[in-house]
Amino acid sequence: MKPWDKGAPIDALMEQFTVGRDRDVDTRLARWDVVGSIAHAEMLGTVGLISDDERRQLTAALSELLEEIDRNGIVIDPACEDIHSHVEAVLTQKLGDVGKKIHTGRSRNDQVLVDLKLFLRHELRSTRMRVRELADLLITLAEKYNTVELPGYTHFQIAMPSSFGLWFGGYAEALIEDLRVLDMGIDAANANPLGSAAGYGTSLPLDRGLTTRALNFDRVHVTSTFAQMSRGRTEKLAAIALAQPLSTLARLAADVVQYASQNYGFITLPEAFTTGSSIMPHKRNPDVFEVLRARCNRLQSAAHEIATMLTNLPSGYHRDMQFIKDVIVDAIDEAQLLLDVALHVVPHITPVQNLLQDPSYDPIYSVARVEELVRTGIPFRDAYRMVAEELKSGTFTRPTTLPTGSALGSVGNPGLEELRGRMMTDY
């Protein structure tokens, strides 16, 4: 029996089509639906809408169900459309009329909202931990290879001396900044919609502050209309938050693929982390980083897909929003897998030593030569022209030593201590 069923016959194809993947995706939301229901039952008892004995029965049954879900998972009854109707059916079967009271003051609209917000808050925090761990790993690699030389490129042309300290450190700092974007996504999910019902509130004396505190939300969505409008908005911001560190990871993967090629030869990868060719015996392909790059880039579309489904939707609930759910749940799973793979393979990147000893890299020191002349009092633009003429005439000689005391963020002073300090103060 569907909670909205009024006894009229239901077309089977229509039902199958409109339910979509809800039963499968909702297994991921199951524990959060029960957690939200426990808070709701406690609140109903506190405000007197159910008796204290009914409150105890409901919370006890829900707690047992939560333990079962955490231990063995859940299979949603095919007779139920979603996790919300399944939980209510379980309570009604176990407690009779008392079970039917769990829906007092609620709609499935605010149920799915609270489920998604609790789920996203938890999973984004878990994702954040992975991003932070990857940033920490990159700082460790930067410290390990701080003084190992690396040619810097712009426009795919040799530019200036760099180092693996700068390279690893740069990606570490990017991920540290990406944590701020993840925090934005977590904050968007950290607001309580429960009690907004179908998007227009209820005349029952619900205590929304009580459920906000019980579920450890940062704040309550005050207007029921905005609580409903946050559907899709929260998921879109979560998708943006997921996409940001994966964009950084895609760029790192692109560098690895390039640096590992024979034409560059800046890094090596263990043979166990490469694949071969069916026809070319010499091939050792960095497939894992190519697949990382592709899948990180593909995930960038999740936010756009959600935004497209929200386009031109007026306020209030619309069934279109149901199909945002599987997009964001899949995106969460994909993002966490990609970060786990990165944490597994990145430690095996090994820089090649003494790259800049190759004479073909001598012109990369042109800026150092300019700065050498500037230190003697020659105006920069004059020094620039002098070095350009040396390069043109073939009289340019690379400096034998590089100056010390470089600006923060430069070769020899990549600022790894400061990055490590930011990691230490991050929560």
| Phi and psi torsions of 161, nearest 5° | -65, 135
**What is the reported pLDDT for 106?**
95
Q: Higher-confidence residue: 406 or 6?
A: 406
- The answer to whether 369 and 384 are in contact (CB under 8 A) is no
Q: Say which residue, 99 or 20, is predicted with more confidence.
A: 99
> Cα separation of 376 and 371, whole Å?
9
pLDDT tier for residue 19 given thresholds of 50, 70 and 90: low
Return the CATH number of the domain spanning residue range 109-356.
Answer: 1.20.200.10
Whether 26 and 83 have beta carbons less than 8 Å apart is answered as yes
pLDDT class of 259 with cuts at 50, 70, 90: very high
Confidence class for position 402, pLDDT limits 50, 70, 90: low
Residue labelled with tokens 């010390």: 404
Please give the CATH superfamily to which domain 12-104 belongs.
Answer: Fumarase/aspartase (N-terminal domain) (1.10.275.10)
Give a three-class secondary structure readout of 160-198.
Answer: EEEEHHHHHHHHHHHHHHHHHHHHHHHHHHCEECCCCCC
Percent of all residues in the chain with a pLDDT value above 70, rounded to a whole number: 95
Would you say residue 381 has pLDDT above 60? yes
pTM, to two decimals: 0.93
Q: Which two tokens stand for residue 342?
A: 């990165």
Q: What phi, psi does 129 have (nearest 5°)? A: -60, -40
Confidence (pLDDT) at 278:
84
- Say which residues have a Cβ less than 8 Å from residue 24's Cβ, sequence separation at least 6: none
- Give the mean model confidence (pLDDT) for residues 311-327: 89
Q: What would the mean pLDDT of 376-398 be, rounded to a whole number?
A: 95
Confidence band of 383 (pLDDT split at 50, 70, 90)? very high
The lowest-confidence range among 219-228, 236-245, 257-266, 278-287 is: 278-287
* Over residues 140-160, mean pLDDT: 95
158: left (phi over 0), alpha (psi -120 to 50) or beta: beta
Domain ranges of the chain: 12-104, 109-356
Name which of 157, 105, 174, 164 is nearest 140 in CA terms.
164
418 Cβ contact partners less than 8 Å away, ≥ 6 residues apart: 408
| 54-107 tens-digit pLDDT | 999 999 999 999 999 999 999 999 888 889 999 999 999 999 999 999 999 999
Same fold, 12-104 and 109-356: no
**DSSP string computed for 349-394:** -EEPS-GGGSGGGGGGGHHHHHHHHHTTT--HHHHHHHHHHHHHHT
Of 194-198, 203-207, 341-345, 404-408, minimum mean pLDDT range? 404-408
Which of the four pLDDT bands, split at 50, 70 and 90, describes residue 16?
low
Instruction: Kindly report the number of other CB atoms within 10 A of residue 230's CB atom.
Output: 20
Share of the chain above pLDDT 90, in %: 83
